[in-house]
Amino acid sequence: MDLHKYFLGNRSKSFCSVLCNTMNRDIRKEIIQIIGLLGLIFLVNISAPHIATFFEQYLFIPLQIFRCWLFRLVPFSVGDLLYLAAIISLFYLLIKAIRRKGSFKRINYLICFLKAGKFILLINLILLVLWGINYEQPKLAKRLALSTDTVSDADLIAFDSLLITRLNSLRYSYCALSLAEINQVAAASYKTGQKKMKVFAKPTLMGNGLAYFGIEGYFNPFSGEAQVNKKNPDFMQPFVVAHEMAHQTGVAAEDDANLMAYIRSMESENKTLQYSACFNIWLYTHRRVFVIDSNLAHELKADLNEFSLSQLDTLRQRRIQYQTFLDDISSFIFDAYLKMGNQKEGIGSYRNVAYSALCWERKKRMIP
């Protein structure tokens, strides 16, 4: 018998056994942590409806006041850098798994896969705790005592006509503003809401790349920053900024953020802000009217001034220019995210502002 071979073989088997046991412990550890994270996410979700008001008043608002003060001092988007770091971390885990070699390669794949899953769940939990609970807040229309159920098709058609009349009038006072100027006038309109919170919007570091995803702006729940594409059409930008500022103040639902942006814009004395708000709300309203009666919608649109019609052409050309599969993917993901956030209509919820804006104007006696 070759004693050297005998002892070396036993030693090799012993090493493999130890390595297998170590890897099994790592797998069990990852699975236990994943189950723990799933449990925490479940607990937060079932508790959210009961703690939403407390969360907003005593946790989100104080935190947001601090974040607005802190990141206002930073000239670039901190939130974009956080997203970039998260993406790099996920790619690192995947590359690490692919480059594994040896007889335990499949086990290494499983461990890296579990680590990536755990990382995604952790991000989801942080997102839920920092922002997601706000989705359980009562709808803004309800808080403002607006009865959207009473809006008829005839009311919506009349509102469409009214918005066209306003656009035809405001068109002569419209003046394109820089992002800094928009920040100034839009933030001033929010002072009546959260006086201590200095809301603001920053250009995203992704530049015009957002357009390929069909995104004009977004609120970063990790940094509390409002991000916008600096190259948005100038007639859209004021409303986009006002919308993201609404998120900064804790308004979570997309139709609520649209309504808040419309209210703040219309109560502002700045005509450009008013024009942008009316133009955006008219887009949502006109789509609803088109579904009700397409021929009537065309007749109403014929009364719109040439300046606004040219802006519709700009939006149409921009949509064609940046329409890619990335837009479809991002829309699908965002739609699913909104539905998980207690917004049953998903992306379609944006359009509900046509009804709530009409009811708000009725309550303010701006229209009959």
Q: Which has the higher per-residue pLDDT, 228 or 96?
A: 228
Task: Output the pLDDT for position 319.
Answer: 87
Predicted confidence (pLDDT) at residue 232 exceeds the cutoff of 90: yes
User: So what's the pLDDT on residue 191?
Assistant: 78
Pairing relationship of beta strands 201-203 and 217-220 according to DSSP bridges: unpaired
Instruction: Tell whether the model's pLDDT for residue 248 goes beyond 80.
Output: yes
Say whether pLDDT at 339 is over 80.
no
Q: What confidence tier does 301 reach under pLDDT thresholds 50, 70, 90?
A: very high
pLDDT for position 19:
44
pLDDT at 15: 45
Which residue, among 320, 318, 328, 239, has the nearest Cα to 281 in the 3D structure? Answer: 239
Check residue 323 and give its pLDDT: 80
pLDDT tens digit sequence for 165-175: 999 999 999 99
Residue with tokens 């994270």: 37
Beta sheet of 225-228, edge-to-edge order: 201-203, 225-228, 217-220
Q: 2 pLDDT exceeds 90?
A: no
Structure-token match 């798994």, residue found = 97
User: Global pTM?
Assistant: 0.84
Residue 140 near residue 253 (C-beta atoms within 8 A): yes
More confident residue, 223 or 5: 223
Q: Which pLDDT value is given to residue 113?
A: 79
Contacts of 225 by beta carbon, 8 Å cutoff, 6+ apart? 67, 71, 77, 78, 79, 202, 219, 248
Take residue 318 and report the two structure tokens written for it. Answer: 């921009």
Domain definitions of the chain by residue range? 3-135, 139-363
**Residue 40 pLDDT exceeds 70:** yes
Radius of gyration of the chain (CA): 26
pLDDT band for 62, please (50, 70, 90 cuts).
very high
Span 242-248, average pLDDT: 95
Q: Name the DSSP class of 60.
A: I
Higher per-residue confidence, 326 vs 60: 60
- The per-residue pLDDT for 206 is 85
State the average pLDDT over residues 253-278: 94
Predicted pLDDT of residue 92:
80
pLDDT (average), residues 34-45: 93
Give pLDDT, residue 343. 58
Percent of the chain with pLDDT over 70: 81
Residue 18 has pLDDT above 50, yes or no: no
Task: Give the range with max mean pLDDT: 94-103, 123-132, 330-339.
Answer: 123-132
Q: How many helices (H) and strands (E) does the chain have?
A: 14, 3
How confident is the model at residue 28, as a pLDDT?
83
Alpha-carbon dihedral 153, 154, 158, 161, rounded to 10 degrees: 70
Residue-level pLDDT at 103: 47
pLDDT value, residue 3: 45
In angstroms, the CA 228 to CA 154 distance is 35
Q: Any idea what the Cα angle at residue 316 is, between residues 313 and 320, rounded to 5°?
A: 140
Q: What are phi and psi of 206, to 5 degrees?
A: -80, -5
